Amino acid sequence: MMFWLLVGELALILEQFLFSSDAAEELKQGIAKKNHELVFLYDKNLVDEVWNKSRPKPPNKPIRVHDLKYAGVDVASKLLSLRSELADSGSSAIVISMLDEIAWLLNLRGSDVPHSPVMYAYLIVETDKAKLFIDTSKVSTEVMDHLKNAGIELRPYDSILSEVEGLAAQGANVWLDISSVNAAIVKTFNSACERYYQSLESKTKSKTKMYDDSNGWSGGPTGIYRVSPISLAKAVKNDSELEGMRSCHLRDAAALVQFWVWMEEQIKKNVKLTEVEVADKLLEFRSAQPGFLDTSFDTISGSGANGAIIHYRAEPDSCSVVDDKKLFLLDSGGQYVDGTTDITRTVHFGEPPLRQKECFTRVLQGHIALDQAVFPENTPGFVLDAFARSSLWKIGLDYRHGTGHGVGAALNVHEGPQGISFRFGNMTPLQKGMIVSNEPGYYEDHAFGIRIENLLVVKEVDTPNRFGGIGYLGFEKLTFVPIQAKLIDLSLLSAAEFDWLNDYHSQVWEKVSPLVDGCAREWLWNNTRPLVKL
């Protein structure tokens, strides 16, 4: 099913399977204000018509079981918890379409989406059964046994709509997260509900419709529109997931240490390195680490002005050569069997100007302020955003992106519902076990970019007082890679900030030095030695 949108003489095709129900409704209302109408097409997919027989085949790489030692909780226990949520909400089934939610719930991982270990699938969980809609050619015997033991039935991927229609025909109350479930599923369910009641009216020869104020019809199938309960459950990591994240971050740090040694050597030899060559070499070092699977996103390798482009991607035919007289920003991450990493470091291979040192130092001060933040339970992330900007604000500077995003455990590098951002609409409280990034920055268009990023775990903090009888939270660091000292104006740092920096580097040395040797170990020591404030 598709949308066919007519705007003047411009025709736009919107695939219902690619738009959430919320997004489609927002679009529908938006164009209605211009006296246009969004019309559903049911008989054909125009994109398929264009592709004809040349359409590429969908990915079919095998999926794998995510080992329980990394997942921490078995599938049966996760389903039991989800079914308890269904019962509390009055739902008899839930349709799940977010790929990372399906992967997390079933302890499965795939490779259908670049950089994200997920597989194309839908999942319907009912009170007494569950059905996974997937291309069965990707399901090995091991995965089949894993699913069978958890009571999961397999169905063809393209049979999801007929199954949704069947739920309505059975009179089911279906939990639908319309912010993520696609428009095709919601439209199909609602249409099937209408047919159910029309049939009921016909049988009873009554034209009186009975409505319930909250969700339409009463006494029959209804849609229960709520945020998926899996989103929050997935965001709060268990002990095994956290242990995997800690472990993979140390191996990732070892790869980065080896990489920075190599890069500095190349720069000293006046070797001309392109931004793409740098990213490719970093991938080599990461690939040598145990458990490495893929990058967690396209590496942002930006020299000089390219570093000021927040989501820059270097291309072979247009990228720059790394300039030792300019700032170099490297934002990268890895997918490991036990966790996901995301780190940004900004360095200078020559002598940085005072302006850049001041900007870098103020970004660092914001990074430290957020890292050390202590806050009450039930605090949403946007409350903490100003911690990271305060030092920049003092001299009239700022940055145009959020300060932190949620990160999955061996899953998507960006996940919700939590975040730290100036966009204050997200009221999700930070909770113990959540992982967020800490990545303040500063960017001067056509000149340079600065960002310093670590990943943090929300933890409980023992405070002398508990005002209001509630607990307090803070952060534990996951990322342990040196911050370049030559870019720091030590005169701007307070005593507490100075101590934080030396303590952080002491931890980096302690945790990472056992994983490297030779020149990499020497480089690590030189870049983590205690600084002395003159």
Phi, psi of 523 (to 5 degrees): -60, -40
CA atoms within 13 A on the CB side of 259: 24
Domain boundaries, the chain: 11-54, 64-201+221-232, 236-527
Residue type, 351: E
pLDDT exceeds 80 at position 152? yes
User: Could you give the strand order of the β-sheet that contains 327-332, starting from the edge strand earlier in sequence?
Assistant: 300-303, 327-332, 343-348
Phi, psi of 517 (to 5 degrees): -145, 180
pLDDT of residue 357: 98
Residue-wise pLDDT for 129-149, tens only, equals 999 999 999 999 999 999 999
pLDDT-based confidence at residue 281 (cuts at 50, 70, 90):
very high
Close Cβ partners of 259 (under 8 Å, ≥ 6 residues apart): 281, 282, 285
Burial class, 312, CB count within 10 angstroms (exposed 0-12 / middle 13-18 / buried 19+): buried
pLDDT of residue 51: 84
- Check if the beta carbon of residue 245 is closer than 8 Å to that of residue 339: yes
Q: What is the mean pLDDT of residues 459-465?
A: 97
DSSP H or E stretch at residue 24: helix 21-32
Percent of the chain surpassing pLDDT 70: 93
User: Token pair for residue 279?
Assistant: 């990213």
pLDDT exceeds 60 at position 12? no
Residue-wise pLDDT for 289-342, tens only, equals 999 999 999 999 999 999 999 999 999 999 999 999 999 999 999 999 999 999
Residue-wise pLDDT for 339-355, tens only, equals 999 999 999 999 999 99
The architecture of the domain spanning 64-201+221-232 is: 3-Layer(aba) Sandwich (3.40)
What whole-number distance in Å separates Cα of residue 245 and Cα of residue 239?
10
pLDDT of residue 414: 98
Q: What is the mean pLDDT of residues 178-189?
A: 93
User: Per-residue DSSP letters for 122-138?
Assistant: EEEEESS-EEEE--GGG
Q: What is the mean pLDDT of residues 98-118?
A: 98
Instruction: Tell me the angle at which helices 239-268 and 495-512 cross, rounded to the nearest 10 degrees.
Output: 90
pLDDT of residue 271: 98
CA atoms within 13 A on the CB side of 384: 36
pLDDT-based confidence at residue 26 (cuts at 50, 70, 90):
confident
pLDDT-based confidence at residue 48 (cuts at 50, 70, 90):
confident
pLDDT-based confidence at residue 42 (cuts at 50, 70, 90):
low
Close Cβ partners of 437 (under 8 Å, ≥ 6 residues apart): 342, 403, 404, 405, 407, 420, 453, 454, 455, 456
User: Token pair for residue 425?
Assistant: 């609409």
Close Cβ partners of 214 (under 8 Å, ≥ 6 residues apart): none
Residue type, 403: T
pLDDT-based confidence at residue 203 (cuts at 50, 70, 90):
confident
The architecture of the domain spanning 236-527 is: Alpha-Beta Complex (3.90)
What whole-number distance in Å separates Cα of residue 435 and Cα of residue 5?
40
Residue-wise pLDDT for 381-440, tens only, equals 999 999 999 999 999 999 999 999 999 999 999 999 999 999 888 999 999 999 999 999
Strand 211-212 and strand 130-133: the pairing is: unpaired
What whole-number distance in Å separates Cα of residue 444 and Cα of residue 495?
29
